[in-house]
Amino acid sequence: MKKSISISIRVSEEELEKFKEAARLEEYASYSEFVRRTALIEANRIIKENNEGENTHEHN
């Protein structure tokens, strides 16, 4: 099993309430799970776009 690592972020009370509301609306177990999953989705999107950009430049 992979080792889990804990991280922390600073957010305003308003931002925290938005995370909590979005997590509730999307039926996540917790707002931290919502933040983790959303961050991973965004990270994967950025990595994919970057890799596609590199592949495009290789063919020129």
pTM over 0.85: no
Q: Is 49 in a helix, a strand, or coil? A: helix
Judged against a pLDDT cut of 70, whether residue 6 lies above it is answered with yes
**How many H helices and E strands in the chain?**
2, 0
Taking only the tens place, the pLDDT of each residue in 15-42 is: 999 999 999 999 999 999 999 999 999 9
pLDDT band (50, 70, 90) for residue 8 = very high
C-alpha distances in Å from residue 23, one per residue of 8, 9, 27: 18, 17, 6
